[in-house]
Chains A and B, each alone.
Chain A
Amino acid sequence: MDGSRAIRDHNQVKYLPLLWAGLWRKPVRTVLTLLSIVVAFVLFGILAGIDAGFDQTLKASRLDRLFTDSRFGAPMQFSYAAQIARVPGVALVAPRRGLGGYYRDPKDGMGVICIDERFFALRPEITITPAQLAALRHTRTGAVIGLYLHNKYGWKVGDRIPLTTQTLRVDGSKVWTFDIVGIVDDANYPGQAGWFLGNYEYLDEASASDKGSTDRFLVRIKDPQRAVQIGRQIDRLFANSAAPTRTTSEQSQAQSGLQYIGDMNLFIHAVVGAVFFMLLFVTGNTMLQSARERVGEFAVLKTLGFTDNTVVALVIAEAVLLCLVAALLGLLTAKLAIPLTRPLIEDFVSLLQTNWSDALRGFALALIVAILSSLYPAWRMRQLSIVSALARR
């Protein structure tokens, strides 16, 4: 039967042993090539993870959530909240005030966000139960913490956590104590939430200065399309006050914030480019060598009635098989390795995510590399003339 028809007849499975035998003709070379490709895909997996982390940060940030911050760093009055709420199009306003300090080691900074219950309406991604919320409201010094802190420090409900801060209390101390009343998670970053949320009332009543001040208002708007106009309207309210504001959507803040670690994205893409350029050479060279060594064998196949196209398909399929197996191994390794690298870059944890759509992109890339690198050897085998190839033996 015509070889190429066989492929069309979905009988190509029978060619697998032939492909396999071809690959393992020189085991050392195949293993080394395989390892090079695996390594490239481990790297691809990790970089795609960083890329996905960037995307996740943008996706998790909502267009209908605005942040009203102090334009120049002067503290804003708590009473701004009521004024912002009256701006047409604003659905909800939540004030917050941060308390910065550290737990035990001054180098291990920790921030508490002091809020009231409106905060949770604005951040529905925080999984707080009504019971936890009630506990937080009834305990003046109460706090809920994210799963990440729970895992990192082993803090449990009922623990009292003293934080040393720069904020002076009325009693002259700078140590603030919080009672953990609940452990919450963040739906956008399961298991990675570092939230430490306390009561605004506690902070405001016990702090010696800056009474009634806030450092940010979270604003939910009804129509995301109007984010810019509503932001401007809010800022106009306070333009001539002691603390002018600057309102931006969460998404535009996330975009700017990602720049903080530099234009890493550009680098990531450059690295992926370099890696696959390198990969083309490695695989291409292996395929060429292997085809060259088997000139005689391919001539025999042609003698047996394999058409030119089948021979081409065989050479390409061999590369595809090699690359897909390697890509699978590499992506799996990356998937397993990413959680291991998390402790190294603790501060950037949320910037490393894994998802399976990247795996698909990886396999597509493997296919492209395989085809590109085997085109030339395949063409050479197609041109092969049986007589001269066999004569050379």
Chain B
Amino acid sequence: MNTLRHILAVTSISLRAIPQRLGPSLVVVVGMACVVAVTISILSMSSGFMRTMRSTGRADRAIVLSRNAQDEGASTITRDNVPVIADAPGIRTAEDGKPIVSADSLAYVAVTKKANGLDAYLDVRGMGPGGFALHPELRLINGRMFRPATHELIVGRSAQRLFAGLEVGDKVPLSDGDWTVTGTFESGGGALESTILVDAETLLSGLRANSFKSMTVMLRDPALFDRFKSALTSNPTLAVDVLRENDYLAVQARDLNRFLKIVASLIGGVMGLGALFGALNTLYSAVSTRATEIATLRVFGFGAGAILTSILAEALLLSLLGALIGATAAWLAFNGDLHTAGSLVFRLSVTPALAGAGIGFACALGLLGGLLPALRAARLPVAVALRDG
């Protein structure tokens, strides 16, 4: 109890003296603020990207690709395959008794970014008639649906916002001439919002192609995935891989996500090291300017532990303050900003978890930076300190 009182007393003394050591204290605050702001900003790309990917996938959807194709681009699902896959067990049926599936074709179209006039390639996805039942998250927010067998398309909300020439009524040059934008859709923030949707058969005939890229099905229950998968993989007439939609998207997102994480930890780590040296410097100088004061406290009977704790508390508090400033700055500057990677549009997202991690990192750095000076303060030989002061 006594120790606790001592700790509180010494800590409040050192905290109240901070205004007298404003310059050095600011070094810690500014250092931590910069580290946290930068690290969180970079990670907000990764978390925004992952959030978009997560809201794209559903546990009860599965995607079928040709065997060993790493993505839809490299995959081929022939016309003969389509009814075989649609007949597999576990697929949910619509009210009309038809299985909820879509065989998709893919193309791309070159578009111009409104902000800087640079090119980007936008995915054009041809969906089967079951596409809308398969993607209940799709919602038309403007205009009307495309009609099959005509050159009509609908545009995702994010794509429309970022790229030029995609307003309702605009003509988009696709295969076989111009296609008209008839509507805008949203998909709850998912990756589809960065694409153009058209009718699969119309797109195929425009491309003069005859096979689909992938097939997506809705399962009656996520637990039926294994049954569905084994039915397809054991079928000798098919050579396909079956993946849960979430797993497929996670693999697709892996590279960019990994890159961002590496960049964030590299930069955050190096900056953290710099901030750590700054904190060490500040607290060493705090200890050395307060040597007489600390020695006097020791003479009055305050324990070494109380002194040590008070220095650590000061380090922690300054770091926490800096981290809060940094996190707030990152949130104000970037949260919700639209960002593109290729043609995929996502919002940077500074989540509470991310802010928490940043603040935790700064506090750990602060404690680490405070530890050595605190030990020195606790071990200060009283007589020497009093004589030299």
Classify the secondary structure of B's interface with A.
helix
| Contact digits for A102-127, partner B, Cβ 8 Å, 1 yes 0 no | 10001101000000000000000000
Q: A282 contacts B278, CB within 8 Å?
A: yes
| Contact digits for A243-277, partner B, Cβ 8 Å, 1 yes 0 no | 01010100011011001111110010011001101
Give A148 Cβ to nearest chain B Cβ, in Å: 18
Cross-chain pair count, CB within 8 angstroms: 156
Task: Give Cα distance in the complex from A279 to B206, angstroms.
Answer: 59
Task: Let me know if A74 is at the binding interface, CB within 8 A.
Answer: yes
Given A43-B267, A281-B27: A274 in contact with B37 (beta carbons within 8 A): yes
Task: Let me know if A144 is at the binding interface, CB within 8 A.
Answer: no
Task: Let me know if A354 is at the binding interface, CB within 8 A.
Answer: no
Question: Which of A29, A32, A288, A341 lies at the interface centre, i.e. has the most chain B CB atoms within 10 A of its CB?
Answer: A32
Interface residues of A in 174-226 (CB under 8 A from B): none
Given A29-B285, A73-B107, A248-B119: A43 in contact with B26 (beta carbons within 8 A): no
Q: B277 contacts A35, CB within 8 Å?
A: yes
Task: Give Cα distance in the complex from A262 to B46, angstroms.
Answer: 11
Question: Which of A42, A252, A264 lies at the interface centre, i.e. has the most chain B CB atoms within 10 A of its CB?
Answer: A264
Task: Give Cα distance in the complex from A98 to B341, angstroms.
Answer: 24
Among A256, A274, A286, contact of B118 (Cβ-Cβ < 8 Å) = A256
Task: Let me know if A33 is at the binding interface, CB within 8 A.
Answer: yes
Q: Which residue of A lies closest to B115 (CB)?
A: A263
Task: Let me know if A20 is at the binding interface, CB within 8 A.
Answer: no
Given A43-B267, A46-B266, A285-B27: A261 in contact with B41 (beta carbons within 8 A): no
Q: A72 contacts B31, CB within 8 Å?
A: no
Residues of A within 8 A of B173 (CB): 71, 244
Task: Let me know if B9 is at the binding interface, CB within 8 A.
Answer: no
Task: Let me know if B240 is at the binding interface, CB within 8 A.
Answer: no
Task: Give Cα distance in the complex from A252 to B106, angstroms.
Answer: 24
Task: Let me know if A166 is at the binding interface, CB within 8 A.
Answer: yes
Given A28-B284, A166-B69, A289-B23: A274 in contact with B270 (beta carbons within 8 A): no
Task: Let me know if A36 is at the binding interface, CB within 8 A.
Answer: yes
Task: Give Cα distance in the complex from A40 to B119, angstroms.
Answer: 35
Given A261-B341, A281-B30: A39 in contact with B284 (beta carbons within 8 A): no
Q: B120 contacts A262, CB within 8 Å?
A: no
Given A72-B206, A278-B274, A344-B262: A260 in contact with B175 (beta carbons within 8 A): no
Q: B119 contacts A107, CB within 8 Å?
A: no
Chain A positions within 8 Å of B, measured between CB atoms, are 28-29, 32-33, 35-36, 39-40, 42-43, 46-47, 71-74, 100, 102, 106-107, 109, 164, 166, 242, 244, 246, 248, 252-253, 255-256, 259-264, 267, 270-271, 274-275, 277-279, 281-282, 284-286, 288-289, 341, 344-345, 347-348
